[in-house]
């Protein structure tokens, strides 16, 4: 049970939205296409767990690891398959009702995500969450991506938060929160973050 926060800040991918069949699959397919071999999802997870791999285009390029292949070519292929159908496989990890409960309790909910703005807004619109979230800071809104604290600080300033927490699922999220001088709730199996839970369900139970 926690009542001390005056608002909550969420990462989007892997926290609010299941991206295992969308972004993660796009990384796997993109790397497989350029390497001409089958890539295991465990390889994708390993690269995504590295600090600084918040951007999925960067993760795909790092997994390919061939300097002679142009970054923009990799990015364009990734976007083609992601927007071409994989985006439609995304599902909420937190129900709208649960988010409404959190909204009722904490009043202000924000998102600090590495997604492009258009793709972040797509999730909000498709799930009718416009009245739940007060602020979305996406890739284009800040100069430096996580583990830089820029996106988190931008949400804090926009919502006027005095005592908040960042909920994320990667080492970069934890570092970004620490650099923003706020606590973090890590979702996953690693023992990192101010506090951590293996599932988002446990996080919701803690916050409510």
pLDDT at 1: 47
DSSP symbol at 105 = H
> pTM for this structure?
0.93
pLDDT for residue 3: 59
Please, are residues 175 and 186 in contact by the beta-carbon 8 Å criterion?
no
Task: Give 130's DSSP letter.
Answer: T
Tokens encoding 109: 């909910």
Q: How far apart are CA 189 and CA 27, in angstroms?
A: 21
Inter-residue contact 176 to 148 (CB < 8 Å): yes
As averages over each run of 10 residues, the pLDDT of the chain (208 residues) reads: 83 96 97 97 94 92 97 98 95 97 97 96 95 97 96 98 97 97 96 97 96
């Amino acid at each position: 049970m926690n009542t001390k926060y005056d608002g909550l800040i969420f990462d989007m991918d892997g926290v609010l939205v299941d991206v295992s069949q969308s972004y993660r699959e796009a990384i796997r397919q993109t790397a497989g296409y350029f390497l001409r071999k089958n890539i295991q999802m465990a390889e994708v997870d390993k690269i995504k767990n590295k600090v600084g791999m918040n951007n999925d285009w960067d993760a795909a390029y790092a997994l390919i690891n061939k300097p002679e292949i142009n970054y923009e070519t990799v990015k364009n292929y990734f976007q083609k398959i992601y927007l071409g159908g994989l985006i439609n496989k995304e599902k909420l990890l937190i129900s709208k009702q649960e988010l409404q409960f959190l909204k009722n309790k904490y009043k202000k909910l924000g998102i600090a995500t590495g997604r492009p703005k258009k793709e972040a807004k797509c999730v909000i619109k498709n799930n009718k969450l416009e009245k739940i979230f007060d602020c979305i800071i996406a890739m284009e809104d800040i100069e430096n991506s996580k583990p830089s604290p820029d996106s988190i600080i931008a949400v804090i300033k926009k919502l006027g938060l005095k005592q908040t927490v960042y909920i994320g699922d990667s080492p970069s999220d934890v570092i970004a929160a620490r650099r923003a001088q706020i606590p973090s709730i890590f979702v996953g199996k690693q023992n990192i973050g101010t506090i951590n839970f293996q599932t988002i369900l446990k996080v919701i139970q803690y916050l409510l």
